[in-house]
Structure 1
Amino acid sequence: MGGCTGSKMANQVGDTDQKAASKQEFEKVVDPDLEEEEEDNDDDVMSDSAFNHKASTKMRGSVSAEAYGEWNKKEAFEVPVYPKSEDQESRLKETLSKSFMFRALDAKEMKQVIGAMEEVHAKEGERMINIGDIGEFLFVIESGALECRKEINGKDTLLKTVEEGDVFGELAVLYNTVRAANVDAKTDCVLWKLDRKSFNAIVKESAQKKRERYEGFLAKVPLLKTVDSYERSHICEGLVAEAFKEGEVIIQEGDTGDKFYIVEDGQCKAVKEGMEDKALDYHAGDFFGELTLLKDQVRAATVTAVKDSTLLMLDRRAFKRLFGGSQQLSEAFAEQENKYLQASSA
């Protein structure tokens, strides 16, 4: 069925509760393409030097805190909550969903992150960051623009301008390093800042738990049983969970395909126009969408959620990077296609 063939794979697996042993591991957890992204580390330059004021009144939500190994023991921590309008929350959610560090958060975790962001203001020309400051906050720009600058060969050089909708300062927070440049407000700005402790408590721990769960789940998928744990680990790096409601269309016949799916839980159904009596059901562990990506063809059937379902998704880039060079997996995909074609022609 072209881009909608799949393998019948059962057995779900529960979460494990192991913690990463080193902070370097998190780079692999949050974004498999981090090393490939064309990001200039010098734009990660914000610190708390200009934002030292405390919140006057804030609610608090409990969460267990930093959990990233023996080098940094876990401690109790309460994530702050700063009130926001529905419009502000909506804009922050849209922006954060595009950032590699936040795109894997579930709805509850995203709400926690947004709640923990504090509004700050910068005047035009105001020096916000001094080079060498420790990275204690990451920032989202609601309005305005800032310039990231540093001295290169004795000359003050503009490295990058960050504007409305940009997230910046995240790398120094992630790696607990100093800022690489000075930052000045090019215009009056409204910013939202997230402190490092809240980031660690919500984002790092969440990403690690998801990685462990995905590794256990993929180990039970027959297609990947012969793949060693190292390769499965790399596959986990690219997975993003997507939720679909009962009756929601996941793949539309005739569309250009850019996603590969594995069913984590729920049930889906593939139907090709004119072959409604030969629908193909997908359950936990089944996959679909691979042939479209392998052969660069349009979707050959429509896949719909039969009931509320959670799917693990790889986009085209991650799929090609992880599966494109594997002869073993390519043969397995081809075998599944042949089996379906034989069944549909019977």
Structure 2
Amino acid sequence: MNRHDVPPELTNLLMEFTVSVLVERPEDILAYAAKYFTNLHEQRSASTNGGSQQNVENDEAIYSDEDEPEPPPPTRFNRRKSVFAEHYDPAEDEDDEAHRIIHPKSDEQREILAMAVKNILLFRSLDASQMQDVLDAMFERRVVPNEIVIQQGDDGDYFYVIQSGTYNIFVRNPTTGDNMNVGKYENHGSFGELALLYNQPRAATIQATTDGSLWAMNRQTFRRIVLKSAHKKRVVYEKLLESVPMLSSLNAYERMNLCDALMPKEFKEGDCIIKQGDSADGMYFLEDGTVSIRVRSEGSEEEKEISRFTNGTYFGELSLITHKPRAASVYACSDVKTAFLDVEAFERLLGNCVEIMKRNITHYEEQLVAILGSTNISDLR
């Protein structure tokens, strides 16, 4: 069986169940699984039959993926109580400018928001255009002390990025029903993504303890940007990796994991991508453009080009294999798009390919002998 034989619904179900187990930590996982899937089946049956619509608060309307709700008033956030989050298949979602949500912001607000979201893990794989969509789609919500931002057990409605303020995190004790304070956010961070990603109820309650400001994005927009971008990234990177002979030893599952670990990095013509002598932080797969590989012999400031790489090739792996500093510099000869694999992911995912990479070291050394008269890459450190 290859991965294309695995129904997407199975992957989603197992992911959702795993998250639920990690949140609830049941003593008897088998009994918990039986109850979990029974309740899930009843929930979906009720939703399919229209029963779930009876529980919607009177002042809210059920909206489809095609109907983006208007942002709520600044003084009031409606919260849906028991509408099971809709299924979303990024492969079936066509790009449509009509779906794009734009909340106007000043240049100062955009700059503040960009700083707030730049280190959020969920957004690391987004390209520049997708990040602009994120900035456009978020709107500001101000909170006051003791205000409940999200309530454990509610359906996911919004994802939040903190601009300012302090927020306590409470989780309900399943035995006593009491809320336990398990942590807090202070002036930075984000929350609310798990319920949106995995169609699960809120796993915790978040309560403001001070005046504060949040940036919010609604469920449909969040899923469309984050999930669709992840899907598009995987499709692009699968095609890229299929063109790399070294990776033919990976099975489909390993190649899929590698796609998910890659991060886009773009460079302008003339940029130095790797500097000879620096410590290695990862390797690069060249998606588009041309790069120049240059080395500098000891005691010389002049760099000599030993090779050029173009689409479908990779570079930067040598230092990861030898555990030595970068043996050459790499420059962009044009605008370049790469897929970057950090050192931790390299060691975790490419163990099967290291022996193949080691064979290429001989080829590198032959090039260096011809150009510089050196017989060992390590001489160039």
Tell me the TM-score normalized by structure 2: 0.71
Structure 1 residue 272: deviation in Å? 1.2
Do 1:145 and 1:163's aligned partners in 2 also have CA atoms closer than 8 Å?
Answer: yes
239-248 vs 224-233, which moves further:
224-233
Q: Which residue of structure 2 lines up, in the alignment, with residue 307 of structure 1?
A: 334
Aligned to 1:78: 99
- Is the 8 Å Cα contact of residues 66 and 200 (structure 1) preserved in structure 2? no
CA offsets per residue over residues 202-251 of structure 1, 9 Å max, x none?
Answer: 22112101101211221111111333222211211111111000001111
Q: What amino acid is the match of 1:170?
A: E
Where structure 2 has 5 or more consecutive residues not aligned to the other structure, the ranges are 1-6, 25-58, 60-69, 75-85, 371-381
Q: Which residue number in structure 1 is paired with residue 133 of structure 2?
A: 112
Q: Does the Cα contact within 8 Å between 1:270 and 1:302 map onto a contact in 2?
A: yes
Tell me, in whole angstroms, the C-alpha distance in 1 between the residues paired with 2:317 and 2:13.
28
Question: What is residue 246 of structure 2 aligned with on the other side?
Answer: 223
2:293, 2:331 within 8 Å by CA — same for their partners in 1? Answer: yes
Higher CA-based Rg: 2
Range that drifts further, 281-290 or 79-88? 79-88
For residues 322 and 230 of structure 1, what CA distance do their matches in structure 2 show? Answer: 11
Structure 1: which 5+ runs fail to align?
Answer: 1-19, 29-34, 43-48, 57-64
Measure, in 1, the Cα distance between the counterparts of 2:271 and 2:95.
41
Q: Is the 8 A contact 1:41 1:171 kept in 2?
A: no
Relative to structure 1, the CA distance from residue 319 to residue 245 in structure 2 (aligned partners, 3 Å threshold; closer, same or farther) is same
| 2:361 equivalent among 334, 337, 342 | 337
Higher relative contact order (CA 8 A, sep 6+): 1
Match for 2:122 among 98, 101, 124?
101
The aligned counterpart of 2:219 is 196
Change (3 A) 1:239 1:23: farther
Q: Which has the higher helix share?
A: 2
Task: Map 1:162-311 to 2 at 5 A.
Answer: 162-274=185-297, 276-311=303-338
Structure 2 CA distance for aligned equivalents of residues 111 and 26 of structure 1 = 31
RMSD: 3.0
Which residue type is aligned with residue 319 of structure 1?
Answer: F
Count of matched residue positions in the alignment of Structure 1 and Structure 2: 298
Question: Cα offset for 1:124?
Answer: 1.1
Instruction: Name the residue aligned to 1:11.
Output: none
SS of alignment partner, residue 225 of structure 1 = helix
Check the 8 A contact 2:159/2:217 in 1, yes or no.
yes
TM-score between both structures, scaled by the size of structure 1: 0.78
Amino acid at match of 1:285: G
Structure having the larger proportion of residues in strand? 1
Distance verdict in 2 for CA 1:173–1:337, change over 3 Å:
same
**CA distance, structure 2, for counterparts of residue 96 and residue 249 of structure 1:** 26
Q: What aligned pairs does 1:9-20 form with structure 2 within 5 A after superposition?
A: none
